[in-house]
Amino acid sequence: MKFRTITLATSIALGLMAPTVAANSLSQQQANELLERLKKLEQEVTTLRGQLAEAEESDTTKVEKANNAPDFNWKGAPEIKGDGWSVKARGRALYDVAHLSSVPENLNVPGEGFSSEARRIRLGIQGSMPGGFGYKVEADMAGGIELTDAILTYKTGDWKFAFGQHNNFQSLEELTSSNDSSFIERAAFTDAFGFERKVGMSAETKLGAATVQAGLFTDNIDDLDDGNNALNTDIRAFISPKIDGMQMHFGGSLHVRDLKDSTDNVRYRARPFVHSIDTRFINTGRIQGAEKETSYGLEAAVIAGRFHAQAEIHTMNVDRTALDDPSFFGGAIEAGYFLTNDTRQYKGGVFKGVKVSNPVGAGGKGAWQINVRYDTLDLEDAGINGGVQDAFHASLIWTPINNVRFLLNYGHLLYSNAFDIVEGAPNDYSVNVWGARAQVGF
């Protein structure tokens, strides 16, 4: 375009000089030729102006498109943001191996010895929408396709609302993701008392220093049908102050489940610390005449640098028709310490995964953590003989990078008042169990 502009200027200069040099001798023919040349120059100027305007418009359009282009990020998985929308892939893969030993010789336990499984294989998406809305959908494909989370959320000010299948605020231990837990399996009471995601609606807000979560729920989406009209009311509250640099957590929860016409019996039982073993050495069997379950729990935790500790108790009461109402108890206390310069993370009333300070990919050795836990579960009351389990656990966790973990667990489990819960079982005995896990989550 610069060359054409110079040519045009030269032409104009020559055209203007011609009349000056030969003004006195300009003929009609020359005058006509000069006018023709001026018309052509005018056309060229008009054309150049049009091209310049098009170029400016094109540049403006490019800038606008660049400003409106989606933003691509990477947070363990691709995340795309644009025009108030966002979408991010999420998932996890957890592979376990286990070994159960020291089982009394007269017991026939199919899971004794070596076992393995794909504990969780989950894929999903989550993101945000304009106006404060958000969503999360995730399915587990470890044993077929099972919908885990399917949630529509809405945030406004200090309030957050959720609709769909999600956790109903059971406890700190249950709400902490399996990606971030201290052991391969959670405390026994979470398994025994049937904590699981359910379909419902909930709200969460701040009341002073406390966070309060409450909701109404029906049942797990796989258990819903026209005969299941059970209704759950759940509430959890916690405070999370920081004292002298230590992250504290204190909370409690209350859960009421009206069984209505969905069932007239309940059952409480637990696996021996690893999921690939299907035998339950502690088991109430079917408790008939059940009308309502009421449970409540207390929880506390602290993070102080490399050290963390956590304690929880939970009680389950069963209201029965014309029968004594049993009450069962479970609890656990644990402590952990990082051998490396790392710390456990905490946010929103749950533990989060460690942010590795010296990852393997950067020439480091990753994060190394040791944990110990005492776990108890008492399923005996009101004539129900489900046994008592006391367990002592230890774990070693290596997190080479933020999204990958390897866990090694040991458990020594003591059983009492367990006569014939598993056919042929003595009243008191113990078993040992080892477990290992390789996992990736994003």
Query: Residue 305 belongs to a domain with what CATH number?
Result: 2.40.160.10
For residue 80, being part of any structural domain is answered with no
Kindly state whether residues 382 and 419 are assigned to the same domain.
yes
Q: Are strands 307-320 and 265-266 parallel, antiparallel or unpaired?
A: unpaired
Q: Give the per-residue pLDDT at 6.
A: 42
For residue 77, being part of any structural domain is answered with no
Kindly state whether residues 255 and 139 are assigned to the same domain.
yes
Tens digit of each residue's pLDDT (9 = 90 or more) over 80-133: 999 999 999 999 999 999 999 999 999 999 889 999 999 999 999 999 999 999
Kindly state whether residues 102 and 186 are assigned to the same domain.
yes
Kindly state whether residues 137 and 36 are assigned to the same domain.
no
Kindly state whether residues 24 and 99 are assigned to the same domain.
no
Report the DSSP beta bridge partners of residue 371.
Answer: 336, 395
Tens digit of each residue's pLDDT (9 = 90 or more) over 346-397: 999 999 999 999 999 899 999 999 999 999 999 999 999 999 999 999 999 9
CA separation for the pair 275, 374 (Å, rounded): 18
Kindly state whether residues 251 and 361 are assigned to the same domain.
yes
Kindly state whether residues 322 and 245 are assigned to the same domain.
yes
H-run or E-run covering 359:
none
Given 38, 68, 98, the domain boundary residue is 68
Given 19, 36, 68, the domain boundary residue is 68
CA separation for the pair 105, 98 (Å, rounded): 19
Look up residue 317 and give its DSSP letter. E
Kindly state whether residues 151 and 34 are assigned to the same domain.
no
Q: Give the per-residue pLDDT at 327.
A: 98
Kindly state whether residues 103 and 40 are assigned to the same domain.
no
For residue 257, being part of any structural domain is answered with yes
For residue 118, being part of any structural domain is answered with yes
Helix axes 28-68, 2-21, angle to 10 degrees: 160
Residue type, 161: F
Domain tally for the chain?
A: 2
Closest CA to 318 of 299, 335, 293, 298: 293
Given 35, 68, 101, the domain boundary residue is 68
Kindly state whether residues 158 and 220 are assigned to the same domain.
yes
H-run or E-run covering 380:
strand 367-381
Which range marks the domain in which residue 39 is found?
A: 2-68
Kindly state whether residues 228 and 133 are assigned to the same domain.
yes
Q: Give the per-residue pLDDT at 53.
A: 79
CA separation for the pair 183, 392 (Å, rounded): 12
CA separation for the pair 96, 100 (Å, rounded): 13
Q: Work out the burial of residue 329: count CB atoms within 10 Å of its CB; fewer than 13 is exposed, 13-18 middle, 19 or more buried.
A: middle
Which of 3-12, 35-44, 140-149, 246-255 has the least mean pLDDT? Answer: 3-12
Q: How confident is the model at residue 2 (pLDDT cuts 50, 70, 90)?
A: very low
For residue 82, being part of any structural domain is answered with no
- Tell me if 160 sits within 8 A of 205, measured CB to CB: yes
Kindly state whether residues 100 and 53 are assigned to the same domain.
no
